[in-house]
Structure 1
Amino acid sequence: RVTSRLRTELGHELPVRALFETPTIAQLATTLGTSAAVDTTAVRRAERPAAVPLSYAQERLWFLDRMDPDGNAYTVPVALHLFGALDPAALEQALHQLAARHEILRTRFAEGADSAPAQVIEPTGSLPLVQVDAGDWDDVDLVAALHQEASRPFDLAHGPLARAHLFRLDPQQHVLLLSMHHIVTDGWSYRIVARELDELYAALRERQPSRLTEPALQYADYAIWERSWLQGELVEGQAAYWREQLAGLEPLDLPTDRPRPAVRSSRGATHTLNLPDTLTTALHKLGQDHGVTTFMTLMATYQILLRTYTGHHDIAVGTPVANRNRSETEDLIGFFVNTLVLRADLTGNPTLREVLNRTRDTALNAYAHQDLPFERLVSELAPQRDLSRTPLFQTMLTVHGSTTDISHCWQLAGLDVQTLPLDDTVAKFDLTVSATEAGPELTIDFTYSTDLFDASTIERLATHFQHLLTAVTTEPDTRLDDLDLLSPDERRRILHEWNDTTAPYPHDRTVHQLVEQQARLRPEAIALVQGERRFSYRELNERANQLAHRLRESGVHPDTTVGICAERSPELVIGLLAVLKAGAAYLPLDPTHPTERLTHLLTSTDTAVVLHHPHQTGLAASLGGTLLALDDPTTAGHPTTDPDPVAHPGSLAFVLHTSGSTGTPKGVQITHRNVLRLTHNTRITDTTPDDVFLHLNSIAFDASSYEIWTPLTTGATLAIAAPGRTTTETATHDIHTHRPTVLLLTTALFHTLVEESSQALAGVRHVLTGGEALSATHVRTFLELHPGSAVVNVYGPTESTTMATCFTCRPGSWEGPVPIGRPIDNTRIHLLDPAGRPVPIGVTGELYLGGDGLARGYHHQPALTADRFVPDPFTPGARLYRTGDLARYRPDGTLDFLGRTDDQVKIRGHRIEPGEIDARLLEHPAVTASTTVVREDTPGDKRLVAYLTTNSTNPPSTSEL
């Protein structure tokens, strides 16, 4: 009896040996064997209340239906192709009798004065058969009519909630379309409809009384009984189990192709996967060997797949149960299905075999506590309601045996009946995986929300699922972190084709050598301009040469650093070039930064010489070391000839400090080769001598290296913005003044300019922007206003010399969020999982960067360098920088940026580690705890806010902190 009940409930056989070997099975057997029977006497129809309540299952569908914007998510249609001599009158009368036998087919759902829905049963009613002459229709017309009718919404309040249409193709061919709202039917019910319709039709056709007996109960009786039975200790016991099982459950965020809409719709599509017979046979053998069902194997494998796709180890998947574990309900039409949530804990890097065992225990315990209706469970757990997703789980898995697949249960006396597929798919969840077993065949349908996913994404997911199923059957002792989902073709594409970025550039030269070359080729061309001041390449080179000779006298040499503390000016640029000509590396010092920070940078890099503006003598003096004014008149007495070269392409060009999580800034060491790989990168922009670049950013910001050295090493003009803090007003003025053709803006400044001063950007050929998420709306607005321009979304940390990827935005070139693009020339990109393996297309991974832009490491921090600059497992002898950024591949190889693995944030393009701020605040003796977060109270205006506690009754002031 228990085995029969299990087969009925699960839709497939459970290995008999498991009944006696697994304690949980014994518990399940006891539960099923002692389930309360429906007391038919206590629920006689005469005792019904005036307003019949909904069953708990119906109550859930009532609310879900009201949330469905399309109104057809819960329509359950079946289309039957009938071959042979049909008696339409008998069929119509059979449908009438079917409705007379089952009140649920005459039920509608009205909202009472207290806003609670109730069942309203019409005392009489029928299921009319609408007949349509389709004799002159072609297949396209028929399919369109079926789809239109099958997707027509139902009105729960007014009914009817069941419809029948008969399309006559010719005397020997008809198509019968039955449509019901899910609130009055389920898959089991359709099998009852099929059985009784066949019996009634046969009896009417032969003019004989049917053999069907009067139903002992109606669905309304069951609903009343369920409400009275599910009370007290029974509910509390079941609820206690589920509260413990699902405590702390978070929504599962599958990586989607499009942002999740505020209100989910039911628009969907289906991809079908037919497993090879050999794999199906292997799955069955695995079940026999391990005492698990096909459902358990598929569930375990699916949850492993979701772990890979989401990076989460806590995976919840819904699964339906027929909820007909009482003999009194087996012949009732109605919606009985309950939903269970199977939660997997995949921590600890278990083997596939261990996951199978965990899944078996979880499933059996869930079946033993299946009486609690899902709606009651949601009420008990009270998760935060979100109209964009379903509560508790967002993806479902079902398994149908040949006996539970309703497509095989239809027959009508004297007719050959074939089920027709209906392609109007509705997606009740983000993704539903439905497996159907038919003998040796196992077919898996992936029904997905088309609001969220592309067809190609689900096709890849299905391929990965099959790959995992193969691994489960052939290598069950493999640990999860050792699984590899990539096919050979996908591996080749990800590792090699998309990293084929080798391109020529002057890798054997230094930055200043290329500037000297431009001075020889185009000596009178304008190199620098600020306001009315102009410097030719000859003047720039000669002034820098004189200062470089002076610096050499001061003892600088390759791989030493020279501090430069100055505002934007031609003298600043001359000083940077002079440091490189002298063979040293420059250490940018922003004069607006706190003196304490600047002093720390000088001390930590052993910098002895500092270049400065004359009016900043006081600040420079406070920093210590040897001071040289950028326009010291004594420098003019030095030679104007190029100094003998002492630096080489691998020598340091500059050291730039970024935020550090421990409170200590990190000095990134950038070489000449690193810089030239950036400045001569045609994937970013094709620079010509006619271009004008605007130096708008602080030299302590890595973007300045692109702004300054790209024009000067390629013969273009560098326009220098006015000194001081850059605002929307000052940026607009500088752009109007200098009319740049290439402009590098922080994302925040780009957004503001598009909103407030877009005309200022007219004539800019390429607007490069990066540092934060780029608004697609702002990009489209800019492109509409300036059709001849392009926006280049750039991404890259300082450790990869400012830029590692780029995406050129042109009208119609992308959908959804703006991607960060593909690797620029001579750059390698790898997306790796926590175990260091490449992730499949569409799956989130940590971004690793390699190639000629990779910095030498962190200055005087070998341990940190070793931690972040790791060996490249795919290129012997090479290194990769571990960014801590999360991304994923689109099918064409472009990258979407998805966030961080840590707390690092970006504000107005600046990389900030909140831990650095917390560490500094905790140095105050009165501060006992601190946490720093980003707030955006005004859209687009991000602010850092530190929250702290003190141990003093007189806490420190804000200014002191």
Structure 2
Amino acid sequence: MVHVVEGDGDLSAEALAKAVTVAAAASPGMRLIRQGRRWVDSGTPPTVTVVAGTPDEHDRTPGDHGRLGAPYLHRTLDGSGATCEVVLIPGTPSTVVFRAFHGVTDGRGLLLWAADVFRVLRGEDPLGAPSRLNDEELIERIVRPGGLPPALPTPKMEWPSLLGRRAATSSGLLRRRRTVDGRHPAATARIAAALADTYGSGHGRFFVPVDLRRHLPEPRSTASLVRALRLDVSAGDTWQEVHQRILTALAESAELAPPFAKSTLRMPLPLLRAVNTGIDHFATRKNRYNSLAYLSHMGSVDLADYSAGEFHARTVYTLGTTSPGSPLEVNLVETGGHTELTVAWHDGPGMAERADAVLDTIEEALSPGKYRQWEGNRTERPLPSGHSVIELFRAQVERTPDRIAVSGPEGDVSYRELSIRADSVAAELRRQGVGAGSVVGLLAGRTVAALAGLWGVLRTGACYLPLDVRHPDARLTDLLDDADVTFCLVERPYDLRECVRSNRKALILDDLVVSDPQSGPGPHPGLGPDHDHAHDLDPDLVPGPVPASAPHEDAAVSPEDLAYVIYTSGSTGRPKGVQIEHRNLLNYVHWATRAFDVDRDTRMPLLTSPSFDVSGTSVFLPLLAGGRVVLMPDDPNHLSLRELLQHSGANTLNLTPAHLDLIGRLDLSPTGYRTVVVVGEQLRVEVAARAQEMFGRDCRIINLYGPTEATIGCTAHTFDPVVDGTGAVVPIGLPADNTTVFLLDSERRFVAPGETGEMYLGGAQLARGYLGRPDLDRERFVHLADESRVYRTGDLARLLPSGEIEYVGRIDDQVKVRGHRVEPAEVARALEQHPAVERAVVATRTRPGHPGKALYGYVLTSSPVTEAELTGHLAELLPSYMVPAATMVVPQLPYTVSGKVDTKALPDPFDGAADSADSADRPDKRGAEAAEPTDPVEEAVADIWARTLGVERSRLDAQADFHRFGGDSLSLLAMAGAVCQELLAPEQEKAFVAQLTRIAGEPTLEQVAALTREALG
């Protein structure tokens, strides 16, 4: 018996030897030796041998013949000496092999003991298996009245080998391995049906080993407690029929039938050996065996049971063997979202290829190729060059130094001036010792200084951590501490914030980026005196003559170096930093530049916070193609968006569906727009259709999908009003260059086209992982059977008949708010930090009249607290988009029968009693109908609220709270825009918009009406 555990991380040979000793003392069956006709406890633990690794032995290619044929896997263990041993092969991966003689243990017993070894390595006590119970004694205990069924007749030698005739003198033991994605119910039946149909001549027979421990789980024993079940299968039998046959046999305990007549067991050993030799000689000469195959399924193995310390198991598999006249042996183990398959038989010429063909048949039976192989994943495309974004930007500056790189309220800034400012930042950072491996915080708005700071950090070889200036200090402090940030680039308005004054050095961007553009470098001599500075890079960013050196030497970065770290919400209640490498970013830049038609004429606004990874589209794409970044420092509202669309000169947009929806309500007809890239949330057809009508037929509306872990965006679809107009949502399209998308079910099996599965993303844009969170890396960044690394998104999707992907939803509670991922668990954790809150639950609910979801909090308290106090508490800890629309104090939390909070049974925040202010604050309003507005202005505002929120007009009174009715920040902006458009003159709008902060702080109908009257004068 051989079990192989492969994993990442080192394992000490000394610690392993000690653990083997302790585990063997608790399971003395692993120390047995034979003395005459008896097995006795030698008292000596199994030996631990360290084997020096070789390239062949560490080749991860499935079915690698050299590795599975290694000598250490074939040493004899037959009871004449030791019956068990452990082999450690250090390397990548590290491997631990557990080997034992089948006469003293079986596959389950050896696994049980191996798990005890790792349990000791983790510092735990072994569970042990002290029982000396053997299979005959076990059967005597469980036998039913009436005794055992009679022994089965000895099977005839009538089935040819699946691998064909073997040589009379075998050259050894052949083992081949294959890993299949997913766990597969009824796998034994599926394999038997497939092999019988493919290789059986009308019918076939299999032996299926059955663990007798199922009849008597206690006492624990490592003895060989297995009996084989005989399974007859006819060609053409469905796997369902075969599975039912197996279940029936198990229900009847058919495996308890004696495998041999008692006379056979009483046969002298020399005679028994002679009989076995004759059986083997007959089988070899006639190519006839007692069955087609042994099919051994070890069940499901938890990798955590075979991990300890720095060693984390990646897989566990079993290697079979052969016996006289035995057929092919097939072993299965389900582990880590995979099914490990191995076959064993006698080696010989051509046997390896035939064994692989058998594995092909088995793999196809479990995981059909038509599900695994999707044309959309044929995305291989070589990058135009290996130059980093740093080199590409430097080259662009040299080509077009006088072109405008950035425009906005601060004026126009050329490529030369932006580069000079970036060099100033880089020079100071270098002077401070910043370089490769450093993480530099960047606390700045959507400004020229922020862009110069970003490029300055990259030029030192460090990576940047973008921070949102609107986030509270507590939040930013947590991120800076978690990322171990020593230096933080800060714009002057934010230099006194507590988050950058504690245990780190703040470098003031405003002081670093002041420079005289006239003193900047001229054309680089490497480009030649006649170089055309107006010539840009082509759409694929082929760099041409990139300077061999630069006026300020840029750090040389490798593709594996980090470019930036961006934090996202964490399901554990703690934000997690996503690490994006230069190769990830470079692949996105090249693909998106071509996919979005970005070139020297592109003028793209920066609408989103730099801490939102989609801002990378607006920063990197235009600046690396000779285009222009258009800055909009003000937060988006109907006035700033109208100004942007009509007067900024922008011709390409990069924004969220919520922002696009807000623009769609402005009743504008912008001209000259070429591309609108929509990303961050599900794009509804009605929003896309309205945008298409607004921007014109010549403007492409592109739906971009991609989590931060896959670098900004990794699939895209161009909206077609005719083709997509019949659906509810716009497809997310096809994968980017060098990117793959797989749809797997809850058992990690590939789903059929049209079925819903979780998206697993792979390829060149996959992040390095989470900063300092190896536990989350192992959970979310997993490996498929072919060893390709993929990211589990938690997003559900299906493949449409068109061959493109459609996003369906989430498998968990995660929700998108303004394009940002929000984990309710993180919000609940923040609520529980309030001294009055004992327990908090945050749930998501659909807002009336809106397809999106909003957050709502529910708390159990130990002392009185108001909703306003809880909201203020959260505002000091979390970004505004993570603050619930309402937080309710409840007397108790409802639970399901499984002991989880029943979120569906929580009070409905849209219920009439909860629509207005808290009933505790307004007892006179509890259950009463809303009062009529007091004047025409309030009446008009109430009508706008009803349309915006999708609620009945009669439910709104003067104290109605916009957020309690499900409104979020973007719908509040839409409401404000409607008030301006319908009730105010153009010259009155600015006065009203200037009060948006007051409205957000007290979003009642009475307050909005009062501010509207003030604006009216």
TM-score normalized with structure 2 length: 0.47
Higher relative contact order (Cα pairs below 8 Å, separated by 6+ residues)? 1
Tell me which structure has the larger Cα radius of gyration.
1
